[in-house]
Amino acid sequence: MSKDHIGELEELILLLILMLKEEAYGLAIRKALKEQANRNVTIGAVHGTVNRLESKGFIESSMGGATEERGGRRKRIFSITASGKSILQKSRDVKVNLWQQIPELSIEKA
């Protein structure tokens, strides 16, 4: 267990959980990955990753209430922990720092 860094998909999902707030559950994360990060993964991939993140203490989960509208199982809602937020910030800081030292990348932007 490394604990001082996370994988690439782990980072994206952590960010999306922050964005989705109360609506951060498996299928919604998968949809957001596609729409916000152009990343098409199966639902199994999402759940595998959130399980890993939870066992590392970066997120926690609780079962949501019964569905409002039509049928369906209850949602497992995820939220980020303090250490999850902390590792996201570290990851960002490292990259921002590197990017700033590379004029090449800053200039040639889309």
Question: Does 95 help bind a second copy (rule: CB under 8 A)?
Answer: yes
**What 3-state class would DSSP assign to 20?**
helix
Residues in 15-54 at the binding interface with a second copy, rule: CB under 8 A:
15-16, 18-19, 36-39
The pair of three-digit structure tokens given for residue 80, joined into one six-digit string: 């980020």
Could you give the angle at which helices 8-20 and 26-37 cross, rounded to 10 degrees? 110
87 binds, among a second copy, DNA, none (CB under 5 to 8 A by kind): none
Using DSSP, how many helices (H) and how many strands (E) does the chain show? 5, 2
The item of a second copy, DNA, none sharing an interface with residue 82, based on CB under 5 to 8 Å by kind, is none
Q: Pick from 15, 18, 37, 45 the residue near DNA by CB under 7 A.
A: 45
62 lies in the binding site for DNA (CB under 7 A): no
In angstroms, the CA 76 to CA 83 distance is 20
Which of residues 19, 21, 27, 94 is near DNA by CB under 7 A? 27
Residue where the block lists tokens 């098409």: 40
The residue to which tokens 């989960």 are assigned: 61
Span from 6-14, 81-89, 94-102 in contact with DNA (CB under 7 A): 6-14
What is the binding site for DNA (CB under 7 A)? 1-2, 5-10, 25-27, 39-45, 47-49, 51-52, 66-67, 69-76
